[in-house]
């Protein structure tokens, strides 16, 4: 499946609800994406992405050739001495899983960020149990730097996370 990254627009709120309103997706994200996910949640999220500082926050809708929303991907610049590094997060609607969509989106956003900004390190921290996301990062060339023991408390349980990073070799 061929994909494209483009900016979110307010017209995408329905499409965003279609992909993210899924407990399996919610269980693998940070808290902040509620479940159930309403049209108002989608409108607020898109508004927030459109108003965010464009030197710190790079968030894109992932769409197919027909411009159908498949998912979301974002890279977020860190603060202080970490300002040349950024954290990445993403999700894909369940009906599109297993088609290489996330891997293509990760490859494309990393290329964009390394070409257009001074960020030199992009990292991601999937839950250790999230084999699909770990696989996406490995396929996109990220190195597994370690396991962060008991690094999160999600749905009433402590969770180990894996640390993956991609460095722009200057
Ligand atoms: C993780 C996620 C983004 C993957 O999206 P996707 O478009 O299906 O990813 P891709 O098709 O590019 O690659 C998925 C890979 O994981 C593999 N995979 C899927 N489920 C797996 C499992 N349970 N165990 C091991 N590998 C698995 C697939 O086989 C594929 O690898 P392959 O190409 O070698 O066969 C998607 O499942 C998702 O949105 N999950 C919920 C939210 C989430 O986890 N976000 C990431 C937070 S860090």
Pocket of ligand 1 (CB under 6 A): 25, 28-29, 89-92, 97-103, 124, 126, 130-133, 135-136
Ligand 1 geometric centre to CA of 163 (Å): 16
Can you list the domains of the chain with their CATH numbers?
A: 4-124 (3.40.630.30)
d(CA 76, CA 163): 16
The tokens describing 144, both together, are 């597994």
The tokens describing 121, both together, are 């390190």
- pLDDT greater than 90 at residue 166: yes
Ligand 1 geometric centre to CA of 137 (Å): 9
* DSSP one-letter string for 42-90: HHHHHHHHHHS-TTTEEEEEEE-TT--EEEEEEEEE--GGGTTEEEEEE
The per-residue pLDDT for range 14-67, each reduced to its tens digit, is 999 999 999 999 999 999 999 999 999 999 999 999 999 999 999 999 999 999
- pLDDT greater than 80 at residue 170: no
Q: Which residues pair with 73 in a beta bridge?
A: 60, 90
The tokens describing 56, both together, are 């710190």
The per-residue pLDDT for range 127-143, each reduced to its tens digit, is 999 999 999 999 999 99
- pLDDT greater than 90 at residue 99: yes
Provide the mean pLDDT of the chain: 98
Ligand 1 geometric centre to CA of 80 (Å): 32
What sign for the dihedral angle of Cα 137, 139, 149, 82? Answer: negative
The tokens describing 97, both together, are 């899983």
Segment 154-165 mean pLDDT: 98
- pLDDT greater than 90 at residue 169: no
* Residue with token string 């498949």: 70
């Amino acid at each position: 499946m061929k994909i494209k990254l483009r900016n979110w627009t307010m017209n995408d709120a329905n499409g965003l609800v279609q992909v993210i309103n899924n407990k399996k997706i919610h269980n693998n994200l940070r808290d902040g994406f509620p479940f159930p996910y309403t049209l108002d949640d989608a409108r607020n999220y898109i508004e927030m992405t459109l108003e965010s500082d464009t030197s710190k926050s790079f968030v894109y809708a992932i769409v197919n050739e027909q411009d159908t929303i498949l998912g979301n991907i974002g890279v977020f610049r860190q603060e202080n001495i970490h300002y040349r590094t950024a954290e990445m997060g993403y999700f894909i609607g369940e009906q599109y899983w297993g088609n290489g969509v996330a891997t293509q989106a990760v490859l494309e956003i990393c290329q964009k960020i390394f070409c257009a900004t001074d960020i030199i390190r992009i990292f991601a921290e999937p839950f250790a149990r999230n084999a699909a996301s770990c696989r996406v990062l490995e396929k996109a060339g990220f190195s597994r730097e370690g396991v962060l023991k008991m690094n999160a408390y999600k749905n009433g349980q402590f969770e180990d996370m894996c640390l993956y990073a991609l460095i722009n070799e200057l």
